[in-house]
Structure 1
Amino acid sequence: MNQHVSPPAEAGIDAFDAGTVLPPASVDAEAPVRFARAFGAHLARQATSRERAGVRPTEEVAILKSSGLVNLLIPERFGGLGATLPTALQVLVELSRGDASIGALLCYHYTNSGVGRLFDIDGDAEALERRSAAGRWFWGNVSQPGSRGLKARPDGDGFRLNGVKHWSTGPSLADVTTVLSHRDDVAELLYAYIPADRQGLRYEQDWDHLGLRRAETVTMGFDDVEVRPEEVFRSSYGPVTSFPPLYVAIGELYFASVYLGSTFGALDAASAYARENGRPAPGSGVERLTKDPYVLHQFGSFWTDAEAGAAFLRQVAQEVQDGFDRRRTITAPERAALGVRASAVRAFLTKIGLEVTPRVYELTGARASHNDFGFDRFWRDIRIHTLHDSQHYKLRAIGDFALNGEAHEPPSFA
């Protein structure tokens, strides 16, 4: 019987140097990526044990806040770090490389904290951005536009919310959370943000799904919750019936970066195991697993796929950043085309992630299947999130663009 080899001893989260405060991009544009790489490597050493113990990510979120990483995309003139979308994606890849649950939390933070600036192209949501930067707000997500379990009722100049929203990521640890709700008076949406401790909010810790087990996804209950007039997102586009322009293009890349990080994380873990603990297969004729030609072939194939995905992500990230920089003049067809390009990146990294992550055992052997190593978490984390959107419909839309030149912005949800 093979002797079980234990993984390296795992340090607690408090062993990480949490005293770093990141400088603005104009001072050191690469500092956020270096920090995320170090933090991600630390997370990797304890991700499996903390997942198995069901530890809530309160300490990790505190580090994201204390470092200023939550302010990454807020312009410097408003008190943020002033980084670009490509930098944010690199940060998410590095964090997800260590623990996709933490990467997903920051992914949803960036998605939701950016809603104000996407809607308000006239004033760039200056007042909101300044408040978020000064308070180092961590943002939660209560969206799911297809869900009609939550209703917004006008109440003077504000609204009252009643109902339930499932699969809400991050609000139970957030300072504020977005809320997207159907209005009960007109065919429009209420898109707003509220403090996470607002009276009438209920958080149910009911997430018991395949992956992203520490991403703090909860069911939200709303019992006559107040939304004040100043908490409604200002829209430069008139009545709100869908997501703001460029939201889909940016969001698709955020999600894709989590998948890519998980894929690289699986390769990191498998290669470290193969070097340190791997045993060559009987009859292989090699002294070390890392010299087995079949293992080298597989690893080379997996690594090439991941690097191709990374290059695709970088290319489209710059295209979307350029579109954001032109957000006051970009046309609707241009925005729609960027959305398709970003969806193609996400579809490609979904394919690569789901092909590579469950096959890392081919690089390690049977002993690596012990649950202490947790090599299955990389696949589980990708699989659970990619179930949100059917790839069949996504690829159909991409095909319509590639074949017929047809691209469409998000439909009305109202």
Structure 2
Amino acid sequence: MTTTETDWSKTETPTTAEGWVSRAAEVSALLAVDAVTRDKEGKTPYAEVRLLKDSGLVTLLGPTEHGGGGQEWPTAYRVVREIAAADGSIGQLLGYHYLWFWAARLVGTPEQITAVEELATTNRLFFGGAVNPRDSDVTITDEGDTIVYNGRKSFSTGSRVSDLTVLEGVLEGTDKHVFAIVPSDIPGLTFHDDWDNIGQRLTESGGVTIDGVRVDWASAAGYVDKTFTPRVYNTLNVPTIQLVFVNFYLGIARGALETARTYTREKSRSWLHGGYERAVDEPYVLDVYGDLTSKLWAVEALADRVAEEALVIHRAPDRVTERERGEHEVRVAAVKARATDVALEITAGVFEVTGARATASSEGLDRFWRNVRTHTLHDPVAYKRREVGVFVLRDEIPEPTWYS
């Protein structure tokens, strides 16, 4: 990074949700300085992750007794939006970190939750995840007191810049998926530099080879005496990560609007036949900005509302019912569909009101669309709309899967 470093140790740690969002805005301002250059170079974002650590943002959901922020998911989502407005890749990395940090609470035993959160919060550790449920490409062998992971994942977001990696595989001879958290530098993990997509270029989402990674059964998330105890809360990983997606899509869209607004104010020329001296006075320009901003504000409000609705579940995880979980997933599906459409519309639409010169690579305005377009293909948005339609017409809730 070429930004001016901040000595975060000399600043007070935020104690409120608004304080943490303000801290995120400070970090976002630093990330924005060289975001265009960073996107072009595509270098591994070690410095950017260090900034997330030094600023304390990685500890946002951590227990206060271990130096964490003690915040809840609505604040985490807003923080992700702030970071993504400057750099969609770093916003995604932070959002995934929060999900994998929280994974212990979703799946783990009480003892595992306590150990993981103390370790990660105290040391400001950063999480990545080698989890790709579409492929049965990692096999786990039971060797008594230990299990051994072998295989390859085609995606492993954030792992090259992480301290801890969440592994997932299928126990040999069964259909049981087993999650475990391991140090990212453990022997047997090889992260490949093969992420070469048009957007989200700094997410380090390349493949990973897993060769004989040995884990104690005691570290297998949620397993006691080699038996997994199901909870409805286990299935909340999907709606939680989908809301992470929603919020970095919206952050990217806001970043595009703000960047375009600055360009229009400072560089755009009015159309020579329009009869106006300034671009900011042209009626069609005003209409487009008003239209896109209104749509963004509406989906942001819905996203915040759905996040607040989930607090009942997160605060009492062992009392959630299948129906409550299903109705929440439908709401998440609805906002995911709207966020996808609006983010794509905004990141493409800003070119209508910035002009031909705004397509110069030095402006970097294209990165917002490339980032949104890349990640919104994660899972088909049509199936999110289908979940909502089935609920409305047949009063059926989605069956928990890896994507619903």
TM class by shorter-chain length? over 0.9
The 1:21–1:387 alpha-carbon spacing in structure 2 relative to 1, beyond 3 Å, is farther
**Post-superposition offset of 1:21:** 7.2
The 5 A counterparts of 1:37-76 are 37-76=25-64
Matching residue of 1:96? 84
The 1:93–1:250 alpha-carbon spacing in structure 2 relative to 1, beyond 3 Å, is same
Answer with 220-229 or 303-312: which moved more. 220-229
1:156-215 CA distance string (max 9 Å, x none): 222111110012101111111101111113220111111101101111100111100011
The 5 A counterparts of 1:280-359 are 280-359=270-349
**Post-superposition offset of 1:301:** 0.2
Alignment partners' CA distance in 2, 1:167 and 1:241: 27
**Post-superposition offset of 1:75:** 2.4
Matching residue of 1:137? 125
2:296–2:342 CA contact under 8 A, matched in 1:
yes
The 1:190–1:40 alpha-carbon spacing in structure 2 relative to 1, beyond 3 Å, is same
The 1:82–1:406 alpha-carbon spacing in structure 2 relative to 1, beyond 3 Å, is same
2:259–2:365 CA contact under 8 A, matched in 1:
yes
Amino acid across the alignment from 1:38: E
Matching residue of 1:152? 140
> Please, what is the CA RMSD of the aligned residues?
2.1
1:189–1:240 CA contact under 8 A, matched in 2:
no
Answer with 120-129 or 86-95: which moved more. 120-129
Alignment partners' CA distance in 1, 2:402 and 2:171: 13
Q: Per the alignment, in what secondary structure is the counterpart of residue 15 of structure 1?
A: coil
Q: Per the alignment, in what secondary structure is the counterpart of residue 118 of structure 1?
A: helix
Higher share in helix: 2
Alignment partners' CA distance in 1, 2:257 and 2:168: 37
Amino acid across the alignment from 1:349: A
Alignment partners' CA distance in 1, 2:66 and 2:51: 21
Alignment partners' CA distance in 2, 1:297 and 1:120: 51
Amino acid across the alignment from 2:6: D
**Post-superposition offset of 1:66:** 1.8
**Post-superposition offset of 1:239:** 5.0
Answer with 166-175 or 404-413: which moved more. 404-413
Which sections of structure 2, spanning at least 5 residues, go unmatched?
Answer: none
Alignment partners' CA distance in 2, 1:325 and 1:318: 11
1:319-343 CA distance string (max 9 Å, x none): 0122211212111110111111112
2:19 aligned to which of 22, 31, 50: 31
**Post-superposition offset of 1:13:** 3.6
1:22–1:69 CA contact under 8 A, matched in 2:
no
Alignment partners' CA distance in 1, 2:78 and 2:271: 37
Matching residue of 1:408? 398
Answer with 33-42 or 349-358: which moved more. 33-42
The 5 A counterparts of 1:120-199 are 120=108, 122=110, 125-199=113-187
**Post-superposition offset of 1:84:** 1.1
Answer with 236-245 or 149-158: which moved more. 236-245
Amino acid across the alignment from 1:15: T
Identity of aligned residues (%): 35
The number of equivalent residue pairs is: 401
Matching residue of 2:253? 263
1:38-69 CA distance string (max 9 Å, x none): 22122222111111112221001011112221
2:262 aligned to which of 260, 272, 277: 272
Q: Per the alignment, in what secondary structure is the counterpart of residue 50 of structure 1?
A: helix
State whether structure 2 residue 110 is matched by structure 1 residue 107.
no
Deviating above 6 A after TM superposition, structure 1's stretches of 4 or more consecutive aligned residues are: 240-243
2:233–2:317 CA contact under 8 A, matched in 1:
no
Q: Per the alignment, in what secondary structure is the counterpart of residue 182 of structure 1?
A: strand
2:3–2:33 CA contact under 8 A, matched in 1:
no
